[in-house]
Structure formats: C-alpha cells, structure tokens
Chain A
C-alpha cells in the first residue's frame, strides 16, 4: 500500500500533466484547404464541432487565415477561432491547382512536422476553383463536408476507373522516392458556389451546387504539369494496378457492349534494356448490350473478349503517351529499374531521355466468364415467350 501511494505521488510529481487538454477545448479540423494569396498562402480549416444549432447533429465552420508560410496562416486562424485548433483528425487536404503548379513540397512540410497530425488523410486538388470553396460546399447526403469529400474520393475509386484515392503517406512515398512521380485527383465545383455554401443546400432535394470528382493531375517532381483526360486517367490507374473493377464500353456493329471487369490485375516487369512488359489479366461479365449479337455462340464471346482487350490496350497506350510527352514517370518504372538493375540505373545521366525511349509492350487477357442473366438481347427474344416473374 505504501509503495502504491509512492507510485501515485511519483506520477503526479514527475509529469505535471503535459499536453493535458479537454476535448471540448479543441476546434476539431477535419478538412484543410490551401490556396494562393497575394503574399503567400491562404489556409482554410473546416471545423466540425461547432454546436451552433441544437437540432442538427453537425454544423461546420470554415475559418481561413493568410500568411507567408502555412504555419503562419494557421496561427492566423488561431486568432479567429475561440478554441485551440486540432488537426489530429484531418480527413482531407485540398490543394488548389495554382499552388500545385508552383510545387507542393513547401506546403506539405508543416503537416509532416506537426506531431499530432495523422498521416492517413486523403489529398486531392481543386481544379479551376479555390480549394476553400470546395471545402465549403455542403452535401445533403453526408453529415459534414469533409466527410463528403473523403468518402467520395474513397468510394468512387471502384466505379469509373479514373479515380485513385491517394493518402498522405502514399503521396510522401511518391514525392520522396526517385524514379516515381505523383498523380492526384481533382475536384471541380458544378453550379453556383454562393448557394452551395449555404446550409439550405443541405435541405433541398436539388442542390444548387455540388462538387464532382474529375480526372487525374500528373506531376513532375512536386509540380503540377498537366491534367489527364478521362481515358488517360483510366489508363494510368490500370497500369498502376490501382483499380480492380471498372466498366469497359466497346463498339459492336450498330451499338455498344458494356462489360464490367473484376479482379483486374496488372503486373509490370522491366528488362535489362529498360523495356517494360505489362500483363493485364482479369475477369469480366456483360452488363449491357445494345446491338445484335448472339451470346450463345462461343465465337461471339471470343470476339467481345478481343475487343475488350484492345480497348484496355488502347487506354494503356494513351496513358503511356501522356507520360512520355511530359517525361514524367508516373508508373514508377525508374524505381523498378533501380531495384532490379541498380548499377545500370546509376549510370543513366539523362533520365528523361532514357524514359522517352523506353518501349512498352502490353499483353491483355480478359476472360468473360458470365454473360449476364439473359443469353440474348431483348431485341432478339422479342416474340418469344417470357413468363412474368412475380
């Protein structure tokens, strides 16, 4: 018992309650946006625990501050916010494209230094709009804006195939490592910004404005150099093995066939000369047919498979051409080459030139294993018996 009292008194003496703080003294920032201002940066924070209204669970506030450095700008927010700013629960960081064009290294420095910040928040760009506005738009479907952005980014990864969510850790990995360049997703605002930030935007069933995910931006070192289009974005994601499910639309005689691929997987290998082989495999199922084709014939399935393979090859080629055009190694070929042949890699003087001369060979093998519920298109079965399914 005496020893116990000693231990307890030691706990009290030895610490002095360092970093003790009550939760309700924090202003919890869940989103952060970085814009350019006249003399430096404008940093906006989305504070999620403002108990303004008693009826709704969550109401949010966006505070912004300006400064020559990010830290300065954040301390500027400290003057506005009545509570201590807490960035341990940041879920998304949005950087405006104008900042990204000048380089993002100096922007990220602060978040890496700060011991309380988690390193697994998502990072995205805002295209053509201020990052602050993207942060402010409310959505009727989710409770608070930053959550809207983060879930949007995370969940859409699987649908279109043009999005790939990148968190802070991955971003640092791609920035710091030689031989691999960065791609980031962008948000655009559709509609009127002024109405979108109002709380009424959450209440209507036809929001005045909303944010939309757009294509990927490609970086050279830490600077934004170009935006890819949709097909190029999809190609990038296929080569980087970022997506495992996506839809592919191919033309047939007088219409289209849409297939859903799943278990899509791409393996890259590089040989001694630096030439790259891409092996893409996967399975697919037919989702929609708007042309005359008889799926009961195996040869027709084979034809569709070939078309899908060609389409994927085409997407990959588009992405490769884009990266070669700006000589930015978004696929991490340099890193792979370095890992396999470090001596040869170290002798390369002009890597950009070397990269432009790399030959890409792509093999695609997609198997269609289910052809959907019906074997023939609706047009073809017209006139035959169809029993009503109650």
Chain B
C-alpha cells in the first residue's frame, strides 16, 4: 500500500488568489449589510419607544454617521453588483434556438435595479 500525501487547504486560502479574495469579500459584505439592517431596525425601534427621533436625526447628520453610511453603501453596491453579474448564470433564456446574450440579461437586471432604487429614493424624498 503506497502512502498518499494529502495537503489540507491553509486557513488563509482566500488570500492566495484575487478571485478567492473577491469571493470572500462578497460573502462578508452580506454580513455587513445584514448587521446594518439589524442596527437600523433596532435604532428606529428604540427611538420610537423613547420618542427620541430628534437625537437620532442629530446623530445621522454627524460626520461619523455619514462616513459609516458611505462605507455601508459601497459594501451594499458591491454585493448587489455580484448578484447582477450572477443573474445570467441562473436565468438562461432562449429566443427560439438562440441563447439570449448573458450581458443583455445582466444589463436589464442592472437597469431595473437602478430604476427601482431611483423610484424608492423619489418616494422617500417626496
């Protein structure tokens, strides 16, 4: 019986290749978005219960809060981009016997995302 060598994956495998790093960032950004969502729900709940929305508004206009939201926005956009890129992999459409161009599907998904986001912002600011 020959002895076979097995080489376990090192703990820092995701630092060994740019593609692995981008994958890990995609996964971690989802954690950040979830954490932010929970924080917002908790903050709004606390403010509503204590009737202290003015304190919340004051915090939201600080440079710390603005910086935090810029970072969260960047993470959320990165994560969204990965899903838009994934869409044509899952949504394989055919026009007669010809596959619809994956870039077209990703483009339509991206434009839809921008339009829905724009409409949501418009509704909130109205």
Chains A and B bind each other:
no
**Interface residues, chain B, CB within 8 Å of chain A?**
none
